[in-house]
Chains A and B, each alone.
Chain A
């Protein structure tokens, strides 16, 4: 009986190892990154296929949703109301300006997307220090939105 159990256990271990193995390519894929020039002209190294996006820019959240990336968003602001289901994510506050660093860093995001008004300068600095890439887009005009959509397409692999 004991032997069967241990056999089963080792089998399960093997299977789970196998799953890890099949996960591995994904992991290496996550290590890949792209250089993105954001809406403010800053060059930022962004991981490809980020899994945990904190998006405090309503327009960007909508675009990511349209690109099938809604599952990758972990937190938004209460201004991100399109689609309304966005608000089922963690809501960090009303405006990006009112946010502070700890709640954002606590979510262990691999990408933060801000708009205008942006995050406070100190918060940005703290995110930089924590090694979290931040993209900023001023999505008010079509000619600003199109490059943003292209960038997100590149990041999410939907180009």
Chain B
């Protein structure tokens, strides 16, 4: 940061360790905030059960002799709330890390699953399944499978364009937006020919909700997110170097092509596995990385994990609000993320005038 003039010998070392300590502090603070919020979130909801009942119900699973619970509380906590909270954490984490990686790799602050057309591809896949009943995988996973596969198709298309020689990051986002319009138009067409009930279902799918969560889905999302994120974090030095320009990165011995392909594919894989279960949850992938960048600068070694944590916090907070603010009505979380996130985001913009990108 401001090491420039005064940096000499041991001073520089001190400064660097202070610089690291600050980042670790931010990460720890956010981690603690997630744990506290998760603890609060399981106690909130339309069913009136006390925090004590909730916790004794959770503990009863592990120590059945020491704690007692009732079937009703057990259903509410284990079958409805707990997995939803964990789902919010991992889904938020996945979307944010994928967004941060895409922004870093494409060197563009506008890159996110939404602006690259990936989310609208997922919506198209889901609509195809709901309205036409057509898909790659049949049965229970028809909608999920379609959303997943179209997400991958869209990311391949975006990547194919990115690879095309001479395309600048700006053109890249423009191409992504074009893809977004294409898929939106196809979705609109399907809605136009579909029955009212089917259109209804598509609209609710597109709003994005954690109401579809279950322990199985949490398992899948957690596994994909954690695995892909670890690989992305391993690539973070290389992603940092990409920021200095392809030529510089190449001269430093970075396999630019390989980093870009694997990074984009990992980010797409995370996004696909999250939004195929939740529907399109916007905003987290775009904004969590920016908030993080404002707080702890753009070093991807810290940016990726910290974005993940900020994303988890943001989505968990949004979902908890969505469940409680109009109870017993539960709002789709996709609406809530923007309601809560945009004012905060704009506040950060106004407060910190200096360039952060």
Which residues of A are at the interface with B, using a C-beta cutoff of 8 A?
75, 90-93, 95, 97-103, 105-106, 108, 116-117, 120, 122-123, 126, 129-130
Contact = CB atoms under 8 A, between A and B. Distances in A.
Nearest to A108: B72
A102 B46 contact: yes
Contacts of B231: none
B47 A102 contact: yes
Interface string B322-341: 01000111101000000000
A108 B71 CA distance: 11
Contacts of A117: 197, 200-201
Contacts of A108: 72
Nearest to B197: A117
B45 A102 contact: yes
Nearest to A118: B197
A103 B200 contact: no
Nearest to A117: B197
A92 B331 CA distance: 11
B328 A92 contact: yes
Contacts of A102: 45-47, 76, 80-81, 323, 330
Label chain A's interface by main secondary structure.
mixed
Contacts of B212: 120, 122
A69 B274 CA distance: 44
A111 to B, nearest CB: 17
B214 interface: yes
Contact of A103 (B201, B209, B329): B329
A93 to B, nearest CB: 5
Contacts of B330: 93, 99-100, 102-103
Contacts, number: 63
Interface residues on B, range: 20 to 34
A7 to B, nearest CB: 36
Given A126-B79, A130-B75, A105 B328 contact: no
A93 B200 CA distance: 14
Contacts of B47: 102-103, 105-106
B321 to A, nearest CB: 15
Nearest to A90: B328
A106 B46 contact: yes
Given A122-B212, A130-B75, A106 B200 contact: no
A129 B74 CA distance: 12
Nearest to B323: A102
Q: Which of A91, A93, A99, A102 has the most CB of B within 10 A?
A: A102
A116 B196 CA distance: 10
Contact of B80 (A92, A93, A101): A101
Interface string B195-213: 0010011001000010110
Contact of B48 (A105, A106, A130): A106
Contacts of A122: 211-212, 214
Contacts of B48: 106
A95 to B, nearest CB: 7
A97 B204 contact: yes
